[in-house]
Amino acid sequence: MSQYQCISLAQFAQLQQQAIPVQVVDIRQPEVFALGHIPSAINLHQGNVDRFLLEGEYDQPVVVVCYHGISSQSAAQYLVEQGFEQVYSLDGGHDGWAKQQAASPL
């Protein structure tokens, strides 16, 4: 059985620049997701996980995002167990991504 991999913010940026579309899945609560999230991310929660499993692109990379990169690991493993081939957990989570964005010059 395959397993998810942890991915750094730099590796995530590189992955997004490849020709293959990346599915970014944010597992934070919907009300928190609504306050800010990575562009193109979808909010995955109990209410829509079944639809995602039906409609998801199993052969495209999936990056799972949570607050700090801890909870996303178990969600990433779950997606691997459901048949997704290339699954990553984002180290630092949304918090790390947001701090990096704030520190980046425009």
Span 14-57, pLDDT tens digits: 999 998 899 999 999 999 999 999 999 999 999 999 999 999 99
Model confidence at 74: pLDDT above 80: yes
Exactly one of 38, 63, 66, 75 is catalytic; name it: 66
The 10s digit of each residue's pLDDT in 78-94 is: 999 999 999 999 999 99
Torsion 91-95-97-103 (CA) sign: negative
Q: Quick count: other Cβ atoms within 10 Å of Cβ 98?
A: 14
Task: Write the single-letter amino acid at 20.
Answer: I
| Number of domains the chain contains | 1
CA distances from 29 to 5, 11, 34, 40 (A): 23, 25, 9, 17
Question: Cα separation of 24 and 22, whole Å?
Answer: 6
Model confidence at 104: pLDDT above 90: no
Catalytic residue flag (residue 66): yes
The whole-number pLDDT of residue 2 equals 76
In CATH, what number is assigned to the domain containing residue 25?
Answer: 3.40.250.10
- Residue 34 is part of which domain span? 5-103
Higher pLDDT, 1 or 64: 64
Q: Rounded to two decimals, what is the model's pTM?
A: 0.94
